[in-house]
Amino acid sequence: MSANFRGGIDYSLLKRHYVNNDYPSLRVSGATLMNGIAFTATQTYYTVGLMAYLNNTDVVDILNGWTSFTHGQPAVPAYLAAILAALGVGWPKVVPAFEGKDLLFFATENCWIRFNDASAVPHYVPANTYMRFHQKCIIFFVQRDTVSGTLRAWIEG
């Protein structure tokens, strides 16, 4: 009997199965408007579930962990402002979101990531390297190290 098998539940399989997933990309009518989060010297943020929702507004399901999240940020993220303006979509104070639990990052340039709070401890993501974090996260912040670039994030939760 496996050491991971307790109480009739195979936890080794259960802990790797997540209902929700997100990737910071936006495609409209077959055109890619955004593929990753552009980061600069100014710290920007991403709310987990945002692109999953913008790509398919039917994805929100409170029984599967979705919630209304008050992000507390004063303005739309710079990488998203022009896209939302072109689509005629405003930036609400409350957005649909879910808690990410498995996050995989890839950055084109060195950057720093903070989970859940703009002043939390920063985590370094080197350029052209995949970095995985098992961190409960509903919002994360990214800022360049020396050169601006693009952060790609595969999120499950």
Flag whether 109 is in a domain: yes
The pLDDT of residue 12 is 52
Residue 123 inside a domain? The answer is yes
Residue 1 confidence (pLDDT) above 50: no
Lowest mean pLDDT: which of 6-10, 31-35, 67-71, 151-155? 6-10
Domain-embedded: residue 15: no
Confidence of residue 11 (pLDDT cuts 50, 70, 90): low
If you average pLDDT over each of 31-45, 76-90, 103-117, which comes out highest? Answer: 103-117
Let me know if residue 3 belongs to a domain.
Answer: no
Q: What mean pLDDT comes out for the span 119-148? A: 97
Mean pLDDT for the stretch of residues 8-35 = 78
Residue 5 is assigned to a structural domain of this protein: no
pLDDT tens, residue by residue, 86-121: 878 888 899 999 999 999 999 999 999 999 999 999
139 domain residue, yes or no: yes
> Which residues are within 8 A (CB) of 84 and not within 5 positions of it... i.e. 6 or more apart?
76, 90, 91
- For residues 6 and 93, give the distance between their C-alpha atoms in angstroms, rounded to a whole number: 43
pLDDT tens digits, 52-65: 998 888 999 998 89
Which residue segment(s) compose the domain that 37 sits in? 21-156
**Residue 62 in domain:** yes
Number of domains in the chain: 1
Residue 64 included in any domain: yes
Report the alpha-carbon distance of residue 75 to residue 31 in Å, rounded: 25
Alpha-helical (H) ranges within the chain are: 11-14, 50-55, 78-87
* Residue 15, helix vs strand vs coil: coil
Which two structure tokens, joined as six digits, stand for 142? 């990214």
Q: How confident is the model at residue 147 (pLDDT cuts 50, 70, 90)?
A: very high
